Structure 1
Amino acid sequence: MRIRSARKVTPESDRHIEAPETLLKKRKHSEKAREERLAAAVAARKARRTNKKIAFKRADTYVKEYLAKEQEEIRLKRAARSAGDFYVPAQAKVYFVIRIKGINEIAPKPRKILQLLRLLQINNGVFVKVTKATEQMLRLVEPYITYGEPNLKTVRELIYKRGYGKVDKQRIPLSSNSTIEAALGKYDILSVEDLVHEIYTAGPNFKQASNFLWPFKLSNPTGGWRTRKFKHYVQGGDQGNREENINTLVRQMN
């Protein structure tokens, strides 16, 4: 009688089961994607640190530039006074324009100009670069707007307090420099201070910076408007060019 030898049973833990090739490829792809994400995150952190240092250096440079300009203005005024002359400031580079009247009974041409200026609502405000063309446009819509030359404090307060950016046609608050860098980084505008400087000095990328800024939504001025909006500012009304007095109005509306 032949006795069959017992077959050795291999435990489940000792068996080697090969994973399907598709699963191996999926794992490999996932690991590669994870490594790429980690590398991108590290690169982004390095870029943020670098841009933060650049922003601090630029802000310091801007402060020195503004101070030098202010001191030069004072020197020129004193020189003119000592010579018995009058000091005439340089022509404004930037206007801040505010819409003060509605759309009732408005002709098609002024309506179109207000749309081009993005002044679609009462108390909307925008920065406009001063050129011959823009001055002609402002004169045509003067009954519906008031404008003037903003100083550095006004530009900074508007952007910091009321500033919103246009990102993918949406109104996004300027809560971080990354928002500005993503939209205007290709124009070397990386921070809020870069944006302020570009607007205030009417820099080479003023158009892109101004279009990025959503029209400012201001409140009614403290104490209300003057009694007659349809009169020019110099005649006791509100419309037209009020030059440096625009800064007082903006503070009342901010």
Structure 2
Amino acid sequence: MAPSTTVASAEQIAVPETLLKKRRTNDATREAKLAAAAEARKARLAKRKVIFKRADEYVKEYTAKEREEIRLKREARKTGDYYVSAQPKVFFVVRLKGISKIAPKPKKILQLLRLLQINNGVFIRVTKATEQMLRLVSPYIAYGEPNLKAIRELVYKRGYAKVNGQRIPITDNSIIEENLGKYGIVCMEDLVHEIATCGPNFKQATQSLWPFKLSNPTGGFRDRKFTGFVEGGDTGNREQHISKLIHQMV
């Protein structure tokens, strides 16, 4: 008769202490990761609520401003006067001419404006100094006061962040928060609002953006591209008409 063999149960088998320690470490690591993920999700939801609230406030601000403009124009029309809009605070500048046949001084100004290539564009604050610079390089650029729709279109469609000297696509609000969070700018709408209103951190906001790389406008430039806009060309101050050019080039 063959001797009976007994199989030890799982509880009876001695497990090495190193393996037990490894299991405990893995369990603790897994629990820590799950807890961190839950906290991150909770933080994202809270941040999203803040972003939506800010965006709603910005919409109300823009709407109130538009209504006030309309009211002032109507009041002026009733009294037989003319309503003159406030002076622009922000210009969008786009380069139209390459490097050939440009004098050293205008070339240096274009470098200071970060307009190194054809169809590059930047936002600049309107001051006496910048207006003088723009006049000197007006034969090589087009500029004017962009509307809110044009600013938003540029930032959302052609906006790239400048991170450690690299051109990074803005795929998430976290990229903006990492660069501009200390200035209270944590999302795309904050960035658009800062540019559109020429806020106190306008310089930091625009410097954090890579110069916009635009396409040739839909339908092409005018036949006399390098003559002034008022003379039937494309260069120089286009005032509010710059927004139409932006829509064609984005």
Normalising to structure 1: TM-score of the pair?
0.85
Separation in 2, partners of 1:16, 1:124: 67
User: How much has 1:89 moved relative to structure 2?
Assistant: 0.3
Structure 1 pair 118–33 and aligned structure 2 pair: CA distance change class (3 A): farther
User: How much has 1:82 moved relative to structure 2?
Assistant: 0.5
The answer on whether the counterparts of 1:76 and 1:87 sit within 8 Å (CA) in structure 2 is yes
Separation in 2, partners of 1:15, 1:147: 80
Structure 1 pair 189–15 and aligned structure 2 pair: CA distance change class (3 A): closer
1:129 aligns with 2:130: no
The structure 1 residue matched to 2:237, chosen from 230, 234, 241, is: 241
Structure 1 pair 116–37 and aligned structure 2 pair: CA distance change class (3 A): farther
Find the counterpart in structure 1 of residue 91 from structure 2.
95
User: How much has 1:33 moved relative to structure 2?
Assistant: 7.3
Find the counterpart in structure 2 of residue 78 from structure 1.
74
User: How much has 1:222 moved relative to structure 2?
Assistant: 1.8
The structure 1 residue matched to 2:194, chosen from 193, 198, 208, is: 198
The structure 1 residue matched to 2:51, chosen from 50, 55, 63, is: 55
CA RMSD of superposed structures (Å):
2.4
Find the counterpart in structure 2 of residue 7 from structure 1.
none
The structure 1 residue matched to 2:138, chosen from 139, 142, 159, is: 142
User: How much has 1:80 moved relative to structure 2?
Assistant: 0.5
Find the counterpart in structure 2 of residue 229 from structure 1.
225
State the AA in 2 paired with 1:105. Answer: K
Structure 1 pair 149–17 and aligned structure 2 pair: CA distance change class (3 A): closer
Structure 1 pair 31–252 and aligned structure 2 pair: CA distance change class (3 A): same
Separation in 2, partners of 1:207, 1:34: 44
1:108 aligns with 2:104: yes
Find the counterpart in structure 1 of residue 151 from structure 2.
155
| 5+ long unaligned stretches in structure 1 | 1-12
SS in structure 2 at match of 1:226: coil
Find the counterpart in structure 2 of residue 214 from structure 1.
210
Separation in 2, partners of 1:27, 1:115: 60
Instruction: Provide, for residues 157-202 of structure 1, a one-character-per-residue CA deviation record: whole Å limited to 9, x for no partner.
Output: 1111111111222222222211111111111111111111011001
Find the counterpart in structure 1 of residue 3 from structure 2.
none
State the AA in 2 paired with 1:56. Answer: F
Larger Rg: 1
Separation in 2, partners of 1:149, 1:178: 29
State the AA in 1 paired with 2:106. Answer: P
State the AA in 2 paired with 1:122. Answer: I
Separation in 2, partners of 1:15, 1:33: 24
Instruction: Provide, for residues 189-241 of structure 1, a one-character-per-residue CA deviation record: whole Å limited to 9, x for no partner.
Output: 11111111011001111111111111111111122112223321111111110
Structure 1 pair 127–226 and aligned structure 2 pair: CA distance change class (3 A): same
Normalising to structure 2: TM-score of the pair?
0.86
Instruction: Provide, for residues 137-175 of structure 1, a one-character-per-residue CA deviation record: whole Å limited to 9, x for no partner.
Output: 111111110000000110111111111111222222222
Structure 1 pair 164–244 and aligned structure 2 pair: CA distance change class (3 A): same
Separation in 2, partners of 1:192, 1:78: 34
User: How much has 1:32 moved relative to structure 2?
Assistant: 8.0
Structure 1 pair 123–28 and aligned structure 2 pair: CA distance change class (3 A): same
Find the counterpart in structure 2 of residue 189 from structure 1.
185
| Percent identical residues | 68
The answer on whether the counterparts of 1:199 and 1:206 sit within 8 Å (CA) in structure 2 is yes
Equivalences, count: 240
Separation in 2, partners of 1:90, 1:193: 23
